[in-house]
Amino acid sequence: MFIEDIRTSRRKIPLHTPFKTALRTATYIESITVTIYLENGLAGRGEAAPTWVITGDSSESIQAALEGPIKQAILQQDIRHFQSLLVAIQNSCIGNTSAKAAADIALHDVYSRWMGVPLYQLLGDYQSLKTSMTIGVDDPKKMAKDADKWVEKGYTSLKIKVGAKPELDMDRILAIREVIPSEILLRLDANQGWTPKQAVQLIQEMERINAGIEFIEQPVKANDLEGLKFVTDNVKTPIMADESIFSPQDAFKIIQGHYADLINIKLMKSGGIYNALIIADLAMVNQVPCMIGSMMESSYSVGAAAHFAAAHPNVIYYDLDAPLWLTEKPEVIEYQGEKVSLSTGEGISGVDK
């Protein structure tokens, strides 16, 4: 069963609320769709969104990689060589992890459709999922108000963005802690906004006042692995690597040197599900639990990430709220408060295309 055609398209999706982190403020996203057609007419779809400040990919570069080297690597190839095709996508060019993720997702979609099962079933499990809700970085009062609103709506996990104007971070945590119940733990994400010493000082202070922090994501610059290790070694709170880990090789290095306690896997960084599975397996062998996260992406690619997370026993934290920030109605994923459900139909969306 041969791959007969591969096509791409692009759309803009506005956010209903600006998304603020230490790295950027987003008011809209672009999503690039790739569709892989088999000779029998069956089609599989993948998507990717660019994040200049993290992956370095743009809409134009994603589309160019998909229509250039990636297409060349898998066009006219037999889908029965599924694993080899996934590897061919990874080897088709250097970098371009978002474009590779889109193609990898589309291949997983069409292959699970061809098998006649939902993607999570192809991957082998279905654990129930509930997402955290992100509180964008802002002044302490505004963040406390947002946190209160989402807890009122039933969310039991909040992800608090910090690291922009770090001198406000303690006040942010104190303001949020004041309005939400103590049993709700906070996950912090500094998005590389702290220096190693600043991170240790802030986290030790949070520990001293029992601020109820579950873990802290990416305290320092992505490439400052020594700084990351300094933080991990000098605080009790678990430290999660996000921007420091793209590939399985990155994960291997972080795990082997114990640079962090936890890993945040995102398909746009890993280049898709194939590498995400390797990272999750590698981490499991070394007793390092993982979170599934996403960039600001469409519900379709976040849905693909949710299929992967539902199927892997070492993915135990879920950060899948990006689609709730978009004006486009979610597809693939259904949200009931923090509960996330997936379609039980074939492939990723369960809908014919």
**Annotation says 329 is catalytic:** no
Q: Which region, judged by CB under 5 A, interacts with Mg ion, from 69-77, 103-111, 147-155, 216-224?
A: 216-224
Q: Order of strands, edge to edge, in the sheet holding 3-20?
A: 3-20, 25-38, 43-48
Helix (H) or strand (E) holding 124: none
Query: Which residue in 109, 242, 261, 338 binds Mg ion (CB under 5 A)?
Result: 242
For the bound state, the minimum distance from the C-beta of residue 175 to Mg ion, rounded and expressed in Å, comes to 21
Residue 104 as a binder of Mg ion (CB under 5 A): the answer is no
- Say whether residue 214 binds Mg ion (CB under 5 A): no
Q: Of 36-44, 124-132, 217-225, 270-278, which part binds Mg ion (CB under 5 A)? A: 217-225
As to burial, measured by CB atoms within 10 angstroms (0-12 exposed, 13-18 middle, 19+ buried), residue 352 is: exposed
Catalytic entry in 71, 100, 229, 266 = 266
The closest of 309, 208, 194, 195 to 263, measured between CA atoms, is 309
71, 161, 229, 269: the active-site residue? 161
Assess whether 236 carries a catalytic annotation: no
Interface with Mg ion, residue 321, by CB under 5 A: no
104 is in an annotated binding site: no
Q: Are 102 and 62 in contact (CB under 8 A)?
A: yes
Nearest distance from C-beta of residue 241 to Mg ion, angstroms? 9
Q: How far apart are CA 305 and CA 238, in angstroms?
A: 23
47 annotated as belonging to a binding site for a ligand: no
> What tokens appear for 128 in the block?
């129930």
DSSP H helical segments within 193-348, as ranges? 196-208, 225-234, 248-256, 267-270, 273-285, 299-311
| C-alpha 163: how far from chain center | 19
Smallest separation, CB 276 to Mg ion (Å): 15
3-class SS of residue 269: helix
215, β-bridge pairs: 187
- Per CB under 5 A, does 217 bind Mg ion? yes
Are residues 105 and 70 in contact, defined by beta-carbon separation less than 8 angstroms? no
Site for Mg ion (CB under 5 A): which residue of 47, 57, 109, 189? 189
Nearer to Mg ion, 62 or 245 (CB): 245
Nearer to Mg ion, 18 or 154 (CB): 18
User: Binding site: which residues?
Assistant: 24, 134, 159, 189, 217, 242, 294, 296, 319, 321
Where does this chain bind Mg ion (CB under 5 A)? 189, 217, 242
Q: What residues are labeled active site?
A: 161, 266
**Binding site residues for Mg(2+), as ranges?**
189, 217, 242
